[in-house]
Chains A and B, each alone.
Chain A
Amino acid sequence: MARTPCSLVALGQVNALGKSNAEVAKGLFAGDTSGLVPRDLVPERSHLFGAVRDPLPEIPARLARFDCRNNRLALAALEQIRPELEGALARFGRARIGVVAGTSTSGVGDAEEAIAVRERTGALAREFDYAQLEFGGLAGFLAEAAGVRGPAYTLSTACSSGARALATARSLVRLGLCDAVISGAADSLCGLTANGFASLGALSAGITSPCSRNRDGLTLGEGAALFLVTGDPGGIQLLGVGESSEAHHISAPDPEGNGAEAAMRMALADAGLAPAEIAYLNLHGTGTPQNDPMECAAVARVFGNGVACSSTKALVGHGLGAAGALEAAFCWLVLAAREGGALPLPPHVFDGERDPAMAQIRLAAPGESVNAGPRPRVLTNSFGFGGSNCTLVLGADGDA
């Protein structure tokens, strides 16, 4: 039985590179690192963060209880897909449209402010509402803001949350439980994650430098990416999903990369593709000492050194719970930019000093494009705390 297609009909996004598909694409293909800026989030330490500096939309007054930075980022992405959403509302009705969103932070930054007020006054900030902090609040907010009445839930599996949300959205459509799903993720910079990763010694002193011999950790970022997902054929499709757990450690990946390899192989099998059919691979590529060697080893076992790879973490930072959706969005931009079989690639931005101890996968050079033929296929990896891995394969047929 032919499976229902999964069309990523529309995309809205905001991150350190900008607040529209055009702005993000420009910075993505140019390898622009100017979005990483200093923020005073970790006491007595100076770090760069992939911060969204654009003004964000106001939360409507009727939804004031959801007003937090995380939801403003999500709203900035949602507003960009409003025209296609209106079309889906007219076509399917609001009860048939769901929301599946990923986050690892929710509105924890606003909870920090509420607790700071309590330290001074003895009571939490009056404008603070628990709906800002609880993980389910992101999906609940998006459903209200979009005016949809299908199921709405938040997935939070650390750094694979955003990728997993798209996997779930595809299944809800295939099951006939929804006709369309607003799916993606949002994560926001906050003291908790900045200081948490600092406590683990995981933050880079400068711009993160994935696959470098000098890599010293990750650069945190924030942002949101939301897709409108339907069962229509054509356009840019989610073709494959691979998932695994590691049974290894709460905050470190299996050094052999077995979980990463399993997720990639499963995604290829789900898409019905051979490794050689993948034209571009977006690495999880965090720039930590642990991630890059295990990921490169796993990529090399599956693909050899034939596929062009890049980490985009030096452009927008590590978006944690949003990363999987942000990077699926980058893959979407790559496919949307195809021209006569040629795919422009996001360059692998690092200090240029390859770590000779790691598997030497092929890293995309600045300005590079590949000839991917009439049916380009791309893949993105997301690996989370607690050993939660999710790999997605996207593709498109014919001209854009």
Chain B
Amino acid sequence: MNVSLTRWSAWAPGIETNEAWEAWARSPAPLAKEGAPDAKFLPAMLRRRCTPLTRTMLAAAWGCLDAAELPALRSVFASRHGSINESIGLLENVVRREKLSPATFSHTVHNAQAALFSIAAVNRAASSSLSAMDDTWACAWLEALTFLERDPAAPVLVVIGDVPLADTFAPLCDEPAVPYAFACRLATEGDGPRIGLSLDEARDALPRPAWPHALDFLRWLLAGGDAPLALGARGTRYTFRKTS
């Protein structure tokens, strides 16, 4: 199923505009390890409750959609780690048999970013939240396709992001850990590049980019020419192609 990528937005420390991302895509370099957007578009009350990951993902979402579409579009939120950093303190509370903060607990569900998006954007459309180890970006794309299968006429917002794991678990997870988010608007028809995704079995391990898969997709989208982009960390190879 080919779809149109009609809008996009991304955030990483120091690369905060589409022009800056186009420059990065032409000569990509490793990304900064620290930073989070101030997300001034959120009401102060809500912003205070937002973790760095939530602020980062919502900044990309707000950059991607105009005001009329923020409350209307269905959404897919993808993050490998989600709110695991916030869970660490709760796990320590549990082990020490201390009381948990109900507010912190409520915000550690994996769909916390989707929930806060729904609340802040007053969006009551369907939303999904997912995680797929190293293949989280490709699976976010698939999940968006499933939304377009259920209603081809309505575009879908895809938001992916992560922040580096805290020290407790970081040594257990080998990955290019940077704070980032990428959002795009996918539609069955519309202006923007047409992109297809095909799946097949990976025969060999693919080389891993020096930045998250989603940002390698963005690099390819902006400056990758006509060659396909193959991603995949495990048994499945995901091949993105520009079809027009």
Contact = CB atoms under 8 A, between A and B. Distances in A.
A164 B132 contact: no
B47 to A, nearest CB: 14
Contact of B100 (A139, A157, A195, A384): A195
Contacts of A130: 169, 172-173
A154 interface: yes
A63 to B, nearest CB: 13
Interface string A73-116: 00000000000000000000011000000001000100110011
Contact of B236 (A43, A115, A152, A157): A152
A387 B115 contact: yes
Contact of A116 (B95, B145, B147, B168): B95
B93 A195 contact: yes
A104 B115 contact: no
B105 A153 contact: no
Interface string B92-107: 1111110111100111
Nearest to B200: A95
A153 B110 CA distance: 14
Contacts of A154: 130-132
B118 A246 contact: yes
A245 B131 contact: no
Interface of A: 43, 94-95, 104, 108, 111-112, 115-116, 118-119, 124, 128-131, 133-137, 139-140, 143, 148-158, 164, 167-168, 171-172, 174-175, 177, 191-192, 195-196, 198-201, 241, 243-251, 259, 262, 270, 384-388
B106 A385 contact: yes
Contact of A156 (B91, B124, B129): B129
A143 B234 contact: yes
A388 B94 contact: no
Interface residues of B, number: 69
Contact of B115 (A43, A155, A262, A388): A388
B127 interface: yes
Interface string B55-75: 000000000000000010000
B132 A171 contact: no
A168 B168 CA distance: 33
A387 B139 CA distance: 23
B236 A149 contact: yes
Contacts of A246: 118, 124
B149 interface: yes
Nearest to A135: B131
Q: Closest 10 interchain pairs by CB?
A: A386-B115, A171-B146, A156-B110, A243-B126, A196-B105, A135-B131, A191-B94, A153-B132, A153-B139, A149-B235
22 contacts: A108-B87, A111-B91, A112-B95, A116-B95, A118-B168, A135-B110, A151-B199, A151-B238, A153-B143, A154-B130, A155-B129, A156-B82, A158-B111, A167-B146, A172-B142, A172-B146, A175-B1, A192-B87, A200-B105, A247-B124, A250-B106, A262-B124
B19 interface: no
B236 A249 contact: no
Nearest to A248: B119
Interface string B128-158: 1111110110110011011101100000000
B80 interface: yes
Contact of A115 (B95, B127, B136): B95
A195 B133 CA distance: 27
A386 B118 CA distance: 8
Nearest to B175: A130
Contacts, number: 218
A134 B235 CA distance: 18
Of B116, B130, B235, the most chain A CB neighbours within 10 A belong to B130
Contacts of A248: 119
Interface in B190-228: 199-202
Contact of A112 (B91, B105, B168): B91
A199 B119 contact: no
A396 B199 CA distance: 32
A270 B145 CA distance: 18
Contacts of B114: 157, 245, 386, 388
A43 B97 contact: yes
A92 to B, nearest CB: 12
Contact of B118 (A150, A201, A245): A245
Given A134-B84, A164-B128, A385 B235 contact: no
B81 interface: yes
Interface in B1-58: 1
B235 A143 contact: yes
A248 to B, nearest CB: 7
B126 A247 contact: no
Given A136-B136, A247-B118, A155 B130 contact: yes
Contact of B127 (A108, A118, A157, A385): A157
B165 to A, nearest CB: 8
Given A95-B199, A153-B143, A195-B100, A136 B80 contact: yes
A168 B214 CA distance: 21
B109 A156 contact: yes
B94 A112 contact: yes
Contact of B139 (A124, A151, A198): A151
